[in-house]
Amino acid sequence: MALGDNIRKLREERGMTQQQMADKLYVSRQTVCRWENGSRCPDLITAKKIATEFGVSLDALISDDDMEDLERISGAGKFIKYKRKVKLQEYQRKILEFLQVLGGVYLSISLILRVRFDMRMPVWSVVLGVCLVAGAFALNRRLVRRMEDL
């Protein structure tokens, strides 16, 4: 497994023992040993700490070999489904960010009109906002269904 090999290589290049690395990461020496022999993998936060400690990117630490291993072990079909699900989750994140921005803009305009100009929001802007929110929620629901189908 490339991740364990990379951890061992980076540790040895810096002249660190497993115990020294374990102390820096607040884990046991046995945990570092398990990472290096491939019986366990560090969680994402710990992997990021390891990459930062050794001055490499997370991608370089994990390497492309692990993705090839994942494809070989779980089959190409599962790997493709995984990639599709990640892409759908990215779309979903963008939709939710859009809703946050839209809500913030609507609230800001509403407050400015009310406080500065003693006016209410025009009806057309309320209708437009409701339509945009409803469309975003419908699109989000469709993405959720597509992810459930995977």
- Residues 106/130, Cβ–Cβ less than 8 Å: no
| Structure confidence at residue 23 (pLDDT) | 92
Q: How many Å from the N-terminal Cα to the C-terminal Cα in the chain?
A: 27
pLDDT in tens, 29-88: 999 999 998 888 898 889 888 988 888 888 778 875 544 554 555 555 666 777 788 888
| Structure confidence at residue 20 (pLDDT) | 93
Both tokens assigned to 25? 């990461």
Whole-model pTM? Answer: 0.43
| Structure confidence at residue 17 (pLDDT) | 93
pLDDT in tens, 95-144: 888 888 988 888 888 888 888 888 887 888 888 888 888 888 888 888 88
What is the CATH number assigned to the segment(s) 2-74?
1.10.260.40
| Structure confidence at residue 66 (pLDDT) | 47
Burial class from Cβ neighbours inside 10 Å (0-12, 13-18, 19+) for residue 15 reads: exposed
Nearest to 10 by CA among 30, 27, 44, 35: 35
